[in-house]
Structure 1
Amino acid sequence: MSPFDLFVGNEASRKLIELPADDQPHALAAFQTVAEHPFTTGLPRWVGPDGRTRYLRAVRGWLITFRIDHAERSVRILDLDRS
Structure 2
Amino acid sequence: MGVSREYGRAITEGPTPADASGAPALPYPSGWSALAFTDELRPGTVLTRPLAGSDVVLYRLGTGALRAVRPYCPHLGAHLGLAKVEGDD
Task: Choose between structure 1 and 2: higher strand proportion.
Answer: 1
Task: Choose between structure 1 and 2: higher helix proportion.
Answer: 1
**Could you say which structure has the larger radius of gyration?**
2
